[in-house]
A and B are shown apart, each in its own frame.
Chain A
Amino acid sequence: MTDAHYHSIRFDTSACHGCMACMRVCPTEAIRIRRGQATMLEDRCIDCGECIKVCTKNAVVPLTASPAGLGHFDYMIAVPSPALYTQFDLDVTPGTIHQALRNSGFDAAATLSWSCGAVTHAIDLFLSEYRGPGPLISSFCPSVVRLVQIKYPELVDQLLPVLSPREVAAREAKQRASADTGLPLDRIHAVYITPCPAKMVSIVDHPGMDASHIDSAVGISDLFPLLAPVIREVQTRGAKVPETETAAGLGWAFSISLPSTLPAENTMSVWGLPNVLRILDDIDKGKLQRYTFIECHACFEGCVSGALTVENPYVARARALRLQQSLRKRDPVDPGDMRARHERGEFRTTVPFTMRPPQPLGRDIVTAITRMQERDRVAARLPGIDCGACGSPTCAAFAEDVVIGDADQAQCVVMRQGQLEEQIARMAAGGAPAVRDHNGARRSGDDRH
Chain B
Amino acid sequence: MIDAEFVRAYEIAGADFTNAGRASTGIKETLKNMGLPSALIRRVAIAAYEAEMNMVMYARHGTMTLHVTPQDVTIDVRDEGPGIPDIALAMQEGYSTATAEMREMGFGAGMGLPNIRRNTDDLAITSEVNRGTALVMRVHVG
Residues of A within 8 A of B (CB): 153-154, 281, 284-287, 355, 357, 360-363, 365-366, 368-370, 372-373, 376, 400
Q: Is the CB of B49 within 8 A of A285?
A: yes
CB closest residue in chain A, given B42: A154
Q: Is the CB of B35 within 8 A of A369?
A: no
On chain A, the residues within 8 Å of B21 by CB distance are: 281, 285
Interface string of B25-49 (1 = CB under 8 A from A): 1001010111110110110011001
Q: Is the CB of A369 within 8 A of B4?
A: yes
Q: Which of A281, A285, A361, A376 contacts B8 (CB 8 A)?
A: A376
Query: B141 on the interface (CB 8 Å rule)?
Result: yes
Interface string of B108-128 (1 = CB under 8 A from A): 000000010000000000000
Query: B70 on the interface (CB 8 Å rule)?
Result: yes
On chain B, the residues within 8 Å of A376 by CB distance are: 8
CB closest residue in chain B, given A285: B49
On chain A, the residues within 8 Å of B33 by CB distance are: 360-361, 368, 372, 400
On chain A, the residues within 8 Å of B25 by CB distance are: 281
User: Smallest CB–CB gap between A20 and chain B, Å?
Assistant: 23
Query: B69 on the interface (CB 8 Å rule)?
Result: yes
Q: Is the CB of A154 within 8 A of B34?
A: no
**Which of B4, B5, B39, B68 is the most central at the interface, judged by chain A CB atoms within 10 Å of its CB?**
B4
Q: Is the CB of A365 within 8 A of B28?
A: no
User: Smallest CB–CB gap between A301 and chain B, Å?
Assistant: 27
Q: Is the CB of B41 within 8 A of A365?
A: no
Q: Is the CB of B38 within 8 A of A361?
A: no
Q: Which of B30, B42, B45, B49 contacts A372 (CB 8 A)?
A: B30
Q: Is the CB of B45 within 8 A of A365?
A: no
Q: Is the CB of A368 within 8 A of B69?
A: no
On chain A, the residues within 8 Å of B32 by CB distance are: 357, 360
Bound-complex Cα distance A205 to B102 (A): 45
Q: Which of A284, A362, A366 contacts B28 (CB 8 A)?
A: A284
- Interchain Cβ contacts under 8 Å between A and B, 13 examples: A153-B38, A154-B38, A281-B21, A357-B32, A357-B38, A362-B35, A365-B36, A365-B70, A368-B34, A369-B5, A369-B68, A372-B33, A372-B68
Q: Is the CB of B4 within 8 A of A366?
A: yes
CB closest residue in chain B, given A152: B38
User: Smallest CB–CB gap between B120 and chain A, Å?
Assistant: 14
User: Smallest CB–CB gap between B98 and chain A, Å?
Assistant: 16
Q: Is the CB of B35 within 8 A of A286?
A: no
Q: Which of A286, A355, A372, A400 contacts B38 (CB 8 A)?
A: A355
CB closest residue in chain B, given A361: B33
Q: Is the CB of A154 within 8 A of B41?
A: yes
Q: Which of B4, B8, B39 contacts A370 (CB 8 A)?
A: B4
User: Smallest CB–CB gap between A362 and chain B, Å?
Assistant: 7
User: Smallest CB–CB gap between A383 and chain B, Å?
Assistant: 19
Bound-complex Cα distance A376 to B7 (A): 10
User: Smallest CB–CB gap between B122 and chain A, Å?
Assistant: 19
User: Smallest CB–CB gap between B31 and chain A, Å?
Assistant: 9
User: Smallest CB–CB gap between B63 and chain A, Å?
Assistant: 16
Bound-complex Cα distance A361 to B25 (A): 18
Q: Is the CB of A365 within 8 A of B35?
A: yes
User: Smallest CB–CB gap between B20 and chain A, Å?
Assistant: 11
User: Smallest CB–CB gap between B115 and chain A, Å?
Assistant: 8
Bound-complex Cα distance A360 to B36 (A): 9
Q: Is the CB of B39 within 8 A of A369?
A: no
With A365-B4, A369-B5 known, 13 other A-B pairs at CB within 8 A are A153-B38, A154-B41, A281-B25, A284-B45, A285-B49, A360-B34, A366-B4, A369-B68, A369-B69, A369-B70, A370-B4, A372-B34, A376-B8
